Amino acid sequence: MSRLAPLEPDNMPPRQREAYEDLIANQRGGVRGPFGVWLRSPGLVIAMRGLMKFYYEESVITEDIRELAIIITTRHFGATYAFSAHEAQALASGLTPALVAAVMAQETPAEGTELELCVYRYCTELLETKKASDAAYREAFSLLGEKGVVDLTALVGFYSAISLTLNAFEIPPVT
């Protein structure tokens, strides 16, 4: 049970209603998960939706690597809503069941491509130590390039914010 009562569209002020309509029309999943929380602050939900759109439409990070970083991050924070929602997306993106299962069990994957294992190490180190060592950075840079490392690092930060939002407001997983 969420800490927030459901919003009633008919009772929303104009800016909030406009943000709500935009979510319904354009956001996969609509007003669920963190978007239902952020909708209480229309400017925030618009900004966060813009960042989400960037990762799905413009980032140099491929879908499989994006989903890997998302499940690593959301699992790290125990954000049940997000990691349960993204587990199927991770598999659909082409990640192997063994890799996804290892991440979901918070275990180091025994197999994966060079890039997948690099991303696992980079994201895990970033989340656990709050920084990236020279070795982790160099490895990620060599495989992803400068823009890729920037996008990946910000993606971990973005899904950290999503995870904390979901946890603070006790958003339950989709059933």
* Per-residue confidence (pLDDT) for residue 62, from 0 to 100: 98
What pLDDT is recorded for position 23? Answer: 86
pLDDT at residue 50, as a whole number? 92
Q: Residue range 30-34: average pLDDT?
A: 81
Same domain, residue pair 91 and 121: yes
Whether 107 is covered by a domain: the verdict is yes
End-to-end CA distance of the chain: 12
Domain hosting residue 135, numbered range = 63-167
Tell me the C-alpha distance between 104 and 70, whole Å: 11
Considering the domain architecture, whether residues 92 and 106 belong to the same structural domain is answered as yes
**Confidence tier at 29 by pLDDT (50, 70, 90):** low
Return d(Cα 108, Cα 106) in angstroms, integer.
Answer: 7
Number of folded domains that form the chain: 2
Q: Are residues 162 and 86 in the same domain?
A: yes
- What average pLDDT score do residues 143-151 get? 98
